[in-house]
Chains A and B, each alone.
Chain A
Amino acid sequence: MTLPKGFGSSGAGGASSSDVEKMIGRRVENMTGMITISYIAAWLATFGGTAAGYFYYPWAYPTNSGHFAFIVLTIIEAIGYLFCVKVMEEGSKKNSNGIVAATLAATAVGTVLIVLFVGH
């Protein structure tokens, strides 16, 4: 196998396990933290977007519509987040079910609180 410059020991031979690690970089099963932060950022951005709608354009976007959109989008984002973490960790020994459950529960509670108390 031909390896890129800087990989492989001198002379003939295939990739060693350290070469493989170098080619991979950060492993996908170790990206749960980054994925979780991205999910929370997306959820906050969704709140910001819908809130901008019902605060600045109430004639076009009543608060109830904004909250409906916020709830549906939160569900879609949560499914995407769950898929990302589960697919990235399948086949490895990593298990982040606790982090995923806590994050999903927190955003679910946050969504309910926002819908009850914001924009009325």
Chain B
Amino acid sequence: MAQMPALIPKEVEIQRLKKIWLIVIAMGSTAASVEVDNFVDGSLHQTSIRDSAFTPAHWWLYSHFITLPLGWAAAAIYDRKVPVLRGPNNSINTGLKMTILGYLATMFTIGVNEMWHFWFVEEIFAVPNHWMFNMGVVVAFMGALAYVVRVYARLVELGAETPGENPYVAEMYKMALEGKLYSRAIP
């Protein structure tokens, strides 16, 4: 694997990366629970077609739009202490940038969604007011994946984690370390 310059002592970097990892595991649990809520929400909509944003199945679903952006914000703030995770020109990490942009789109669309449903009561997944909503989440998750892989790959490089045995996964870590997971130009 590519050798990264050591800008802070190895022990310090491992501890800091693991603190980021704690946030990531907590957010992973949240994301997993929201997958379950897809079914709860779906079953609610079989009986009540369009309801308020404040029914329980929606509390659960919408709460992750608060939890995950706050969690990624915490990661972004703490991330500044790990030099190898910085983006181009010492800016914020590219994966985190994508995540923040994705959630901004989602937050904006929550408002648009409520305005739309004030006039149109249907709840079909493919209606236009949901488009940016769903695309925002996808962009956020893509950025988050790139960031998580980068953190894990660095932990592997520092000898704190075991590298993946699957050669395709190992190749992905290698590309992440070389800054080529998304493109050859954006680290």
- Determine the interface band of chain A, counting residues with CB < 8 A from chain B: 20 to 34
Is B76 part of the binding interface, using a Cβ–Cβ cutoff of 8 Å? no
Interface presence of B105 (CB below 8 A): no
The tally of residues in B whose CB lies under 8 Å from a CB in A reads 32
Give the total number of A-B pairs whose CB atoms are below 8 A apart: 79
B166 interface contact, C-beta 8 A: no
Rounded to whole angstroms, the CA-CA distance of A28 and B15 in the bound complex is 6
Partner of A49, one of B9, B16, B51, B56: B56
Q: Pick the residue among B15, B16, B33, B55 that contacts A60 (CB under 8 A).
A: B55
Which of A38, A60, A73 interacts with B48 by CB under 8 Å?
Answer: A60
Q: Is the CB of A15 within 8 A of B9?
A: yes
Q: A residues touching B (Cβ–Cβ < 8 Å)? A: 1, 15, 20, 23-24, 27-28, 31, 35, 38, 49-50, 52-54, 57, 60-61, 65-66, 69, 72-73, 76-77, 79-80, 83-84, 87-88, 91
Task: Give 8 nearest A-B pairs by CB, closest first.
Answer: A53-B56, A80-B29, A61-B56, A28-B18, A23-B12, A24-B15, A60-B55, A76-B32
Interface residues of B (CB under 8 A from A): 6-9, 11-12, 15-16, 18-19, 21-22, 25-26, 28-29, 32-33, 36-37, 40, 43-44, 47-48, 51, 55-57, 59-60, 160
